[in-house]
Amino acid sequence: MGVGRAESATYVVQPGDCLWSIAVAHGTTWQTLVKINKLTSTTIYPGQVLVLPDSGASPVPVSSSEADPATTHVVQPGDCLWNIAVKYGVTVQDLMEANGLTSTIIYPGQVLAIPGSSGSQPAPAPSRGGGRVEVQRMLDYAASLLGTRYRWAGESPETGFDCSGFVKHVFGRFGIYLPHSADAQSYYGVPVSRYELKPGDLLFFCTEGYGIDHVGIYLGDGRFIHASSSRGCVRYNSLYESYWSSHFVTARRLI
């Protein structure tokens, strides 16, 4: 980590810094930094100047339940809060609270503090192989929403879905939390060739010529389910149809 002191008692936040890493580097706690800088959350920004406690000052005491995190995680391409939470045995909510996040969107290179896992249970992780039934349950649930009306910005069966709202709702039902944007969702998981698709993969399309603007869930045998604006509802289509084949951009695997 680069040293960004503006003067002896301050620190200039560098890209990739978090309160926890700054606290460790300067022999204090993140709670102390929050208190002396009058912060209302743990969110900090590159270039921000933080006041450091005097070297002889005692850090703010914290209870065992508020103890500093044991480690950090540098977000990699394809990471999402869900798979990071599963890796460290915590929950998505734990990560959001520990890092002062107000949404589940994260970016490669971002440094996340990992809270202690005591008392926390990881979100159930749908997986292939032994967890194949869980994947099928998710697809069955998606199919149960066939015919739900299309609604721009919608993300619930009661009010309707747009394409990314439909995917967000279905995956969220099974503990995988995604942003409400087809383009943003395309950064989650790992890339998959269209020739290696498996049920549960996400399919991304460019239908307007301005980047990724549509998403659906692959079911197998070329079929996928999505919220269609042109047909006004959740429906099936096939990647073998010329329209969808020509507008296909990429696929991602989250489970």
| Residues that are catalytic | 163, 214, 226
Burial class of residue 94, CB neighbours in 10 A (0-12, 13-18, 19+): buried
In the chain, how many H helices and how many E strands?
Answer: 8, 12
Q: Which phi-psi region, left, alpha or beta, contains residue 109 (left: φ > 0; alpha: ψ -120 to 50)?
A: left
d(CA 180, CA 184): 8
Tell me the two tokens of residue 60: 């703010």
Pairwise CA distance, residues 216 & 200, whole Å: 10
Please, is 206 exposed, middle or buried when counting C-beta atoms within 10 Å of its C-beta (0-12, 13-18, 19+)?
A: middle
Cβ neighbour number for residue 51 with a 10 Å cutoff: 11
Q: How far apart are CA 203 and CA 217, in angstroms?
A: 6
User: 81-88 vs 92-99: helix axis angle to the nearest 10?
Assistant: 100
